[in-house]
């Protein structure tokens, strides 16, 4: 269900929402609770690092419209309440990669030092 909601929200944000604050938003994931009452929508804003309060307010403002449009598009009994959260998983992944690279460099340096002795 999360993937269907993600696809629909992506289309709706591109075609139906006219709020300028939401311009370069991409929906990266949707986590739906088991009872389909709540959906946490993760998003990224291209061209910006970190959170943008204007985008968050724009998404929250459009939540009612998006929920109504989802109910029509998906034809499900209960349409989840939408909450929006900035996706930090990419930043987290980059940080982990940097830590791994640093550890590999220090290991390579230690190996070279032991080879010379």
Sequence ranges of the domains in the chain: 2-86, 88-117
Give the model confidence (pLDDT) of 14-59 as tens digits. 999 998 888 889 999 999 999 989 999 999 988 777 778 899 999 9
Report the predicted TM-score, pTM, of the whole model to 2 decimal places.
0.77
pLDDT tier, 114 (very low <50, low <70, confident <90, very high otherwise): low
- Residue 18, CA distances (Å) to 13, 57, 77 in order: 8, 14, 27
CATH superfamily of 2-86: K homology (KH) domain (3.30.300.20)
Whether residue 61 has pLDDT greater than 60: yes
d(CA 94, CA 88): 10
């Amino acid at each position: 269900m999360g993937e269907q909601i993600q696809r629909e929200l992506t289309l709706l944000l591109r075609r139906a929402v006219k709020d300028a604050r939401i311009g370069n938003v991409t929906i990266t994931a949707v986590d739906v609770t088991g009872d389909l009452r709540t959906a946490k929508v993760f998003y990224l804003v291209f061209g910006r690092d970190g959170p943008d309060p204007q985008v968050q307010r724009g998404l929250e403002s459009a939540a009612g419209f998006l929920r109504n449009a989802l109910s029509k598009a998906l034809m499900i009994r209960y349409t989840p309440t939408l909450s929006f959260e900035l996706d930090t998983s990419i930043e987290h992944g980059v940080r982990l990669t940097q830590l791994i690279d640093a550890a590999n460099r220090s290991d390579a340096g230690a190996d070279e030092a032991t080879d010379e002795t």
